[in-house]
A and B are shown apart, each in its own frame.
Chain A
C-alpha cells in the first residue's frame, strides 16, 4: 500500500521556491520593484520581529511544557490497562506490558526529535526535557513492575538455578544382590 507514495515522491519533476533569504542584489537577476528598498526595511522591522520572536519563544516554551507533560496522561491510561490485564501471563497482558515498555523507550530514544520544533536560543528546553524523561522513566518503571508481577523478571533464585546440572560425584559405587 505504500507503493503509491513512493511513486509520488520520486515522480516530482519540478518545484518553485517561494521563500528567498538572499539579501545581496548581485545574486538576483530581477531588480526589486520600484519603491521597495531592501536596506530600509530591515531596521524598521526589527522591533516588530523581536516582539514576534518573543511571543514565538513563549509559545514554544509553553508547547514544550505541554509536550513534556503529555506522558503523564499516558501513565494513567497505562496503569488502568495494566490493572485490567491481570497478573497472569496471556496474550493480552503480555501485549499491554510490552507496549508499556516500548512506548517510554521509544519516547526516550526520540527526546531530541520531540523537542526539535521548539528549539530556540531563547527557550530553555532542559527543564521540559527532564520532566519528559522523568515521566517516561516512570512509565518504564511501571512496565518493568508489571513485568515483574507477571513473573517474567529473573529476580528469584529459581530463575538462576533451575537449569543447573547436577553436581558431579567424586565417588562411585556399584554392586548389589549377587546375580542369581
Chain B
C-alpha cells in the first residue's frame, strides 16, 4: 500500500506541476483567444472581374486600409493598413495588375500587386501647397514606352509611369491660387484638361500636353456673383456649379479653351424648390444631383445646355458612379430606403424612366440608410448585362448584392471602436440555458479519453486533430450564461458610426447590435456621434432580477457646445430602455461612487457653462447626491491654456425653468502652467473600478511601506511647447518633459519631476499607487519608461504590534485629502526598445495577483511586461533578502521576452486601445485589444494558481483514483489472508 501512496503522490506532483507558463503552445492558439479582421468603412471600391483571375473588389476605407476582397465570399485576400495620417484619397487599377493608391494629401503614390498585395513601387510627390488630390488613369495612353498615370496633388500635376512609379513630367498649377477639381482626359487625344476654381469667383481651365507637360493654353473667366465651391462634371466639356447664394445653377462650357456660363435659377426648374441648394458630388452620365429641402433632385443636362429635372427622391438615396457598358452606354445604380428593405435600381444614363434592373432586398433597420453604392456588371448566360452592387450602410457594414440576394456581408463598423465596456451575462437558471449542444456523458467521456491519449502521447495524428477541434469548438465557452470563473462576459462596444455591439468573449460573435436612434442623423441632430460608454446599472445583490445596462453618451455635432444625447441600453436584450436628448452640452462625464436602491450609478454630466447635471433624474438619486454634496469635487484640464482647475459642486442652477438636478459649481484652486515652457500632452488617472487588496507593501526586511492609494490622483505630463512636434524636431537642450502627480481635491502637487532632453509622445498608465509612462529621450536617442511610486509617510509610524493586534490603529479609518499626508515618491527610469501606441495594465477581481503592463507596440502587437521590471527599488546588486522578495537586479533597459507577446503571432492592425476586465477567478484577467482588428484573450499574470488548467485530464484523475481504491482493497484482502495464514502456522 505504501507503493500505492507513493504512486498517488507522484501523480499529484505531476498534475500540480502542469500549470501553463506565460507563453502558450502552438496548439493552444485560438483556445481562449480570438482574432477578427476588419477593414472599416469603405470609401472607394474598384471591381476586378477579369475572366481568368479570381473575382475580387479592391477597396480603400476610412481606416486607411487598402484591401482586396473575394467577391464570392467577402473574405480578405490581402490587406494593408496605412498609418493614421496616411489618408487614402484615390484608388484605381492600372495595367490590369497594379492597384494604385494616392494618399497623404496627394503626396504618396503607391502601386500594389493585385494578386498578392505586394507593394511594387512608391513615389513621393513633393509639392508646396495643399490641394485636392486627384488620380486619373487613362486606358490607352503611352508616353514613350510607358503607360502613364496622372496625379494632381499639392498644386502640381504629375505624369507617372505606372510600371515603376517614375515621374515623367511635373507641372505646377498653383498660380493665382487655382484649385483644380478635375482632370479630364478625352481618350485618344494629346491634351489633358485640368479644371478648377480660383478664389470662388473665377473658372480656370488648363490644357496640357500629355507627352511633355507643356502648358498649351490657360483660359479663365470671372463669375462676378461667385461660386459655392464645388463643380460637378457632366461631360468632358460641361461642368455645373452653384453660385454663392445657392439659388442659381451655372453651367460652364469650356470646350477648346472657350469658357461660357449659362445661368438658371433653381426656382425656374419647375417643381416647387425653395431654400438653398447644395450640389452633390456625383459622377452620373449627363446628369447631376442637387440637395434641396432634404430631398435629392436629379437634373439632366441636354446637349443644348438646358437643364431638365428628371426626378426628386428622398434624402436617404445613395447613387453610384456611372459604369461603362459594352455598347458605349453608361449605367448607374440607385439605392432607396424602403420600410425594412432597400431598393436597388440600375438605370441607363440616357433613360431615367426605365430600369435595367430593380431589386428589393430585406435589410435590417439596425443598419440605417445606405451611404454608398458601387456597381459592377457581368455578362449573363443570355448575353444580357447582370449587375452586382456593393453597398456601404450607415453603420459601416458592407454588403454585396447579386440577383436580388445578399451574397455576403461584413460588419466593418467594428473596425472603428471608440469605447468598450464589459457586462455580465445572465445567471444560469432552469430553462434559461441557451447552450445548444449539451454534452452527454458518453461524449464527455470520449473527449476526455482523447485528451488522456494526448497526455500519454499515444494519440494518432487523427486523434490530435480531433482533440484540437474539441478544444476550439468547446460549447462551454460560447454559452450565453454566466460561468463560475467569470470568463464568459459580453463586451459592449461603441463604434464611430454610433452603433452598439455586444460581443461574446468566448468566441467573439455578435450577440446583438443596436443602431441607436439618438445617434442616427435626424433633423434635430445633424452630425451625431457617440462619445463614451458608462456602466449605468450593474445589479449585484438585491436587485438581481434587473438587467444590467449601459449609458451611451453622444453629441449632436463636432463642437463641444453642441447638444448632447443620452441613451440607456439593456445589455441582456440589446434594447434601448430610455433616451434623452438633444439636451444640454456634455463636456465631461463623472461617474460617482454612489448607487441608488436599484443599483443605478449616479452620474454627473458637466456642460460647457460648467453646470453639473445629475443623472438618473430621480428624487432618490437627488437625496443621495445632496447628502454627499460637500465631498464631491471635479477638475478641468484646459490643454490649450495650460490651466488645471479644481471645482466644487455648489447649489442649484438659476435657470429660466427650475431644474433641481442642475447644480452650479465654483472654483477652488487652479494650477497655471507657464505657457512659454510647458504644454499639457498627456494625463492619466486610475480606473475607478480597480480593486486594491492592501495598503501595505512588505519589504524584504519585514518592514512595511504604506502605499498612498487615492482615487483622486492625476498624472499630468507637459513638454516644452517647441517639443510638441514629432521626435527629432527639437534639440535636446530646448526640450524637456515635466511630470506631475496632483491631488485633484486640494490641487496639491504631490510630486514633480523634470526629464531634461526628453519629449513626447507620452503614454501613461496609473494603477494603485504607481504610474508608468513612456516617452522619448533625445539625449540617448532611445525610448524610455519611468515609474513613480507614491508612499504615505504619515502612516509609517504604525509600528506597535500590540496596537495592531488589538485593532487600535487608524489605518482603515476614512481619510481626507485635506489632512495633507506626508508622501514620498520613488522613481526610476529604464530604456525601452519599442515605441508604444497605448499602455494598459491588467486588473483582477480582488487586486491580489501581481500586475502586468500591456504595451501596444508600434508593430500592432500587445506585449506583456511584468510590473516587477518597473520597480523603483531595483538596485544593481540586490541583497539575498531582496532577491527572495522578487527584486530583479537593475539593468539599464527593460527586456523584451518574445514569449510574452500576448497576441503571439497575430497582429491587431491599427491598434488603438487595450481594455482589461477582471474575471471572477482572481488569477485571471480578460484582455481586449481593438483597432482595425479585434483581439481577445485571457491572461494570468501570476499564472493560474487558483484553478486547474483546461487541459487537466479529469479522466486520468478519475482512473487513477479508481485504480488506487481498487489497489487498497486488493492489498487489504491480501494482507488479511496472509495474516490468517501466519496465525495458523
Which residues of A are in contact with B by a Cβ distance under 8 Å? 1, 3-4, 151, 155-179
Query: What residues on B are CB-neighbors of A174 within 8 Å?
Result: 588, 590-592, 604, 634-635
Is B302 part of the binding interface, using a Cβ–Cβ cutoff of 8 Å? no
Across the interface, do A175 and B634 meet the contact criterion of CB distance under 8 Å?
A: yes
B804/A160 in contact, CB under 8 A: yes
Interface secondary structure of B, over-half rule: mixed
B12 to A: closest C-beta gap in Å: 15
Q: Would you call B560 an interface residue if the criterion is a C-beta within 8 Å of the partner chain's C-beta atoms? A: yes
CA distance A155 to B592 in the complex (A): 41
Q: How far is the CA of A165 from the CA of B745 in the complex (A)?
A: 22
- Which residues of A are found within 8 Å of B317, using beta-carbon distances? none
What residues of B have a CB within 8 angstroms of the CB of A157 in the complex? 702-704, 798-799, 801, 804
The reply to whether A173 and B698 form a contact with Cβ atoms under 8 Å apart is no
A170-B815 contact, Cβ under 8 Å, with A163-B693, A163-B694, A164-B694: yes
A151 to B811, CA, bound (A): 24
The residue among A4, A161, A162 with the most chain B CB atoms within 10 A of its own CB is A161
Nearest B residue (CB) for A11:
B983
- Return B316 CB to nearest CB of chain A, in Å: 28
Interface positions, chain B 575-595, Cβ under 8 Å from A, are: 586-593
B8 in the interface (beta carbon within 8 A): no
CB < 8 Å: which of A163, A164, A168, A178 contacts B587?
A178
- Determine whether the beta carbon of B815 is less than 8 Å from that of A165: no
Contacts A162-B698, A167-B813 known; A172 to B588 CB distance under 8 Å? no
16 pairs from A and B in contact (CB 8 Å cutoff): A4-B982, A158-B704, A160-B804, A163-B693, A166-B707, A170-B814, A171-B712, A172-B632, A173-B633, A175-B636, A175-B647, A176-B636, A176-B714, A177-B639, A178-B560, A179-B587
Known: A167-B815, A169-B817. A177 touches B683 (CB 8 A): yes
**Are A179 and B586 in contact, CB atoms less than 8 angstroms apart?**
yes
* B879 CB to nearest chain A CB (Å): 15
Known interface pairs A157-B799, A163-B693, A164-B695; A169-B683 also in contact (CB < 8 Å): no
Q: Does B685 contact A (CB under 8 A)?
A: yes
Whether B816 pairs with A176 at a CB distance below 8 angstroms is no
- Closest Cβ of chain B to A164, distance in Å, is 5
* Residues of chain B contacted by A177 (CB below 8 angstroms): 637, 639, 680, 683
Alpha-carbon distance A173/B683, docked complex (angstroms): 15
A172 contact set on B, CB distance < 8 A: 592-593, 628, 631-633, 711-712
* A159, A167, A173, A178 — most chain B CB neighbours (10 Å): A173
Q: How far is the CA of A171 from the CA of B698 in the complex (A)?
A: 28
Nearest CB in chain B to that of A156: its residue: B702
Are A158 and B702 interface neighbours, CB within 8 A?
yes
Residue B256 at the A interface, CB < 8 A?
Answer: no
Question: What is the minimal beta-carbon distance from B132 to any residue of chain A, in angstroms?
Answer: 27
User: How far apart are the CA atoms of A172 and B590 in the complex, in Å?
Assistant: 10
Is B133 an interface position by the 8 A CB rule? no
A169-B532 CB under 8 A given contacts A157-B799, A158-B704, A164-B696: no
Seen from chain B, the residues whose Cβ lies within 8 Å of a Cβ on chain A are 531-532, 553, 555, 560, 586-593, 604, 606, 628, 631-637, 639, 646-647, 680, 683, 685, 692-696, 698-699, 702-704, 706-707, 709-712, 714, 744-745, 798-799, 801, 804-805, 811-818, 975-976, 979, 982-983
- Which residues from A are CB-within-8-Å of B604? 174
- Chain B residues with Cβ below 8 Å from A163 are 693-694
Do residues A166 and B531 form an inter-chain contact, with CB atoms below 8 A?
A: no
Distance in angstroms between the alpha carbons of A170 and B814 in the assembled complex: 6
A165, B588: Cβ atoms closer than 8 Å: no
Apart from A157-B704, A157-B801, A174-B588, what 18 extra A-B contacts exist at CB < 8 Å? A3-B976, A158-B698, A158-B699, A160-B805, A161-B811, A164-B694, A164-B811, A165-B812, A167-B695, A167-B814, A170-B814, A172-B593, A175-B590, A176-B635, A176-B636, A179-B555, A179-B560, A179-B587
Knowing A162-B694, A164-B811, A168-B815, say if A151 contacts B711 (CB, 8 Å).
no
Chain A residue at smallest Cβ distance from B564? A179
Query: Which chain B residues lie closer than 8 Å to A164 at the CB level?
Result: 694-696, 811-812
Helix, strand, loop or mixed for chain A's interface?
loop
Q: Which of B531, B696, B812, B814 contacts A162 (CB 8 A)?
A: B696
Residues of B within 8 A of A158 (CB): 696, 698-699, 702-704
Q: A168 to B814, Cβ gap below 8 A?
A: yes
Q: Is the CB of A166 within 8 A of B694?
A: yes
Complex Cα spacing A177 to B645, Å:
11
Bound form: Cα–Cα A171–B646 in Å:
13
| Neighbouring B residues of A165 by C-beta, 8 Å | 692-695, 812
* Residue of B647, B744, B813, B976 ringed by the most chain A CB atoms within 10 A: B744
Interface centre among A4, A162, A163, A164 (most CB of B within 10 A): A164
* A contact residues around B976 at 8 Å (CB): 3
Do B531 and A179 touch (CB < 8 A)? yes
- Establish whether residues A169 and B814, one from each chain, have CB atoms under 8 Å apart when the complex forms: yes
A160 CA to B812 CA, complexed, in Å: 13
What is the bound-complex CA distance between A158 and B703, given in angstroms?
6
Which residue of A has the minimal Cβ distance to B813?
A167
Question: Which of these, B531, B798, B816, contacts A169 with CB under 8 Å?
Answer: B816
**Chain B contacts of A170 at CB under 8 A?**
631, 814-817
Give A171 to B743 CA distance when docked, in angstroms.
Answer: 11
Cβ of B608 to closest chain A Cβ, rounded Å: 9
Also in contact, A176 and B698, with CB within 8 A (given A161-B798, A165-B812, A169-B816): no
CA distance A78 to B267 in the complex (A): 111
Q: Which residue of A lies closest to B631 (CB)?
A: A171
By a CB distance below 8 angstroms, the chain A residues around B606 are 175
Q: How far is the CB of A111 from chain B (nearest CB, A)?
A: 31
A171–B588 CB distance below 8 A:
no
Could you tell me the distance between the alpha carbons of A151 and B560 in the complex, rounded to whole angstroms? 60
Complexed CA–CA distance, A163 and B680 (Å): 38
With both chains docked as a complex, state the minimum distance between the C-beta of A37 and any C-beta of chain B, in angstroms. Answer: 47
Report B-chain residues with C-beta under 8 Å of the C-beta of A178: 560, 587-588, 636
Nearest Cβ in chain A — how far from B603, in angstroms?
10
B924 to chain A, nearest CB (A): 21
With A164-B694, A164-B695, A176-B683: A169-B588 Cβ-Cβ less than 8 Å: no
Contact A176 B637 (CB under 8 A): yes
User: Bound complex: CA of A171 vs CA of B747, how far in Å?
Assistant: 13
Most buried by B among A157, A167, A174: A174
Residues of A within 8 A of B555 (CB): 179
From residue A127, how far is it (CB to closest CB) to chain B in Å? 37
Closest to B705 in A: A158
Give the Cβ gap from B881 to chain A, nearest Cβ, in Å.
Answer: 10
- Kindly list the 10 A-B residue pairs having the minimum CB-CB distance in the complex, ordered from nearest: A174-B590, A160-B804, A175-B634, A173-B633, A156-B702, A158-B698, A178-B587, A166-B709, A173-B744, A166-B695
A178–B531 Cα distance when bound, in Å, is 11
In Å, the complex CA distance between A160 and B806 comes to 10
Most chain B beta carbons < 10 A, residue from A151, A157, A166, A177: A166
Residue among B560, B685, B706 making CB contact with A176, cutoff 8 Å: B685
Q: What residues of chain B lie closer than 8 Å to A166, measured between beta carbons?
A: 692, 694-695, 707, 709
Would B817 and A171 count as touching, CB distance under 8 A?
Answer: yes
CB-CB under 8 A for A173 and B704, given A166-B692, A167-B811, A178-B560:
no
Are A173 and B635 in contact, CB atoms less than 8 angstroms apart?
A: yes
Contacts A158-B696, A165-B695, A177-B639: A171 and B801 contacting too (C-beta < 8 A)? no
Bound Cα distance A19, B518 (Å)? 107
Residues of A within 8 A of B805 (CB): 160
Q: How far is the CA of A60 from the CA of B332 in the complex (A)?
A: 121
Q: How far is the CA of A164 from the CA of B704 in the complex (A)?
A: 12
Q: Enumerate chain A residues within 8 angstroms of B685, measured Cβ to Cβ.
A: 176
A171 neighbours in B (Cβ, 8 Å): 631-633, 712, 745, 816-818
CA distance A151 to B698 in the complex (A): 13
**B702 and A151 within 8 A (CB):** yes
A175 touching B744 in the complex, CB below 8 Å, given contacts A164-B812, A170-B816? yes
Assess whether A173 is in contact with B712, with CB atoms less than 8 Å apart. yes
Residues of chain A contacted by B694 (CB below 8 angstroms) = 161-166
Q: A161, B696: Cβ atoms under 8 Å?
A: yes
Chain B proximity of A12: nearest CB distance (Å) = 14
